[in-house]
Structure 1
Amino acid sequence: MSGEHTGAFTTDGRAQTVLDFVVGMSVFLVVVGFTFAFVPTLLEPYAVGDGATVIVAERGTAQLVESSLAGPGSTATLSPVCTHAFFNGTDGERAASEWDCNWESNAEELHVELGIDEFRGLNLTVTQSGVVGTVGEEDVRMHAGPTPSRSESVSAASRIVDINGETYRLTLRVW
């Protein structure tokens, strides 16, 4: 009986049923969906996003508090003379020679002092009880940079600092 077909069924070489097709397509769609959902997360660590501005804000704040404006003693204590000169627009060479300050560029050139590209927006504010603080006999406002953009994501880093025995909050905003 080889080669002959008996009975009511004939075969044409296909053994696919509707159930086989549904299972196959379901597996295919799950694999495609998983690929589209998973591959972007593989590439995410290499994309520049908001995380970069957080790092810039943290490092910039650390540099200002621990080095540029730091006074003698702890890193949370700012030198009143150097802080006044920084926000007053004093030349960096003069500040270094006269008062032994650690900054090269003043608040008007904040990008240069922190080593941050010009395409990033920077705003540095030192506040006391929510109000922009002043320093020195001339009451120089401790504020530098434009107001942060409302249309872009802004990252901020703050440090609590001491100037002449008074507590202030130094905040650097980056966008």
Structure 2
Amino acid sequence: MRAQTTLDFAIGMSVFLLAVVFVFTFVPGILEPFEAGPQEETAVADRVASQLVQSSMADPAEPYVLGLPCTNGFFNATAAGDVACGFDTSADLTAGDRLSDRVGVTDRQRLQVTVEGDVDGDGDVHALCFDNDDKKIVEVTDSECGEAVADDRTTNTDVLYTLGDTPSDTQAVVTAQRTVEVDGYTATVVVEVW
């Protein structure tokens, strides 16, 4: 009887170690559905992109065609003026309100909205800007339009068509895009949420 004790111990330890390995291998997979994922960010990005191109910066009767007054008003820090637009014009970004307040999402959602396109026809897509001096849409790289407005988003200035926080390098960023027309040019509205 005494000879089987070592063999019994070895078999028992083997079964125990296999059970421990099994637990460490499969428990993370069992708990995975309960961990946070990008589902909420996907829904927010899609909703905000659709809202912007169908009613906030465009006339609901003519979606996906951005009107300059509402588009300029959205990307300016101050209100859009006399034009009735489909975003919260009371959210004054110069007074510390965030882009999330302007589009109606929770404060814990970080986002950036950009309108980009190829206005000069060179095949390269860049962020767009409304040049207030020439009263036309230009690419940021083709003028000084984007340089002066990054910190000064008030009325009667050039309007950089990028607004919000810089996307995170450490978190998953969800992107929603919509193809639109702005001032006769084909452009893309890009909404990034993280």
Pairwise same-fold verdict (TM > 0.5):
yes
Question: 161, 180, 184: which one pairs with 1:161?
Answer: 180
Match of 1:124 in 2: 113
Change (3 A) 1:59 1:31: farther
Which blocks of at least 5 consecutive residues in structure 1 are unaligned? 1-10
Q: TM-score, normalised by structure 2?
A: 0.64
Question: Does residue 133 of structure 1 match 2:133?
Answer: no
Query: Does residue 1:103 correspond to 2:87, yes or no?
Result: yes
Matched positions, count: 159
Counterpart position of 2:149: none
Corresponding residue to 2:73 among 85, 96, 99: 85
**3-state SS of 2:52 partner:** helix
> What code does the residue aligned with 1:147 have?
T
Unaligned runs of 5+ in 2: 119-124, 137-157
The code of the aligned residue for 2:55 comes to S
What is the aligned partner in structure 1 of residue 155 from structure 2?
Answer: none
1:151 to partner: Cα distance: 4.3
State the Cα distance separating 1:103 from its structure 2 match: 1.5
- Per-residue deviation at 1:167? 0.9
Q: Which structure has the larger Rg?
A: 1
Question: What secondary structure sits across from 1:104 in the alignment?
Answer: coil
Which of residues 48, 56, 67 is equivalent to 2:36? 48
Q: What letter is aligned with 1:157?
A: A
Q: Are residue 115 (structure 1) and residue 104 (structure 2) matched? A: yes
Distance 1:23 1:67 in 2: 70
2-structure distance, mates of 1:173, 1:49: 16
Task: Specify the code of the residue in structure 2 equivalent to 1:102.
Answer: G
Using structure 1 for the length normalisation, give the TM-score: 0.69
Aligned-pair distance for 1:147? 2.6
User: Would you say the 8 A contact 2:79–2:92 is kept in 1?
Assistant: no
Q: How does 1:144-155 map to 2 (within 5 A)?
A: 144-155=163-174
**Secondary structure, in 3 states, of the residue corresponding to 1:134?**
strand
Deviation at 1:168, TM superposition (A): 0.8
Post-superposition Cα deviations, 1:24-67, rounded to whole Å, max 9, x if no partner, equal 33333222222222222222222224444343323322222233
Amino acid at match of 1:121: R
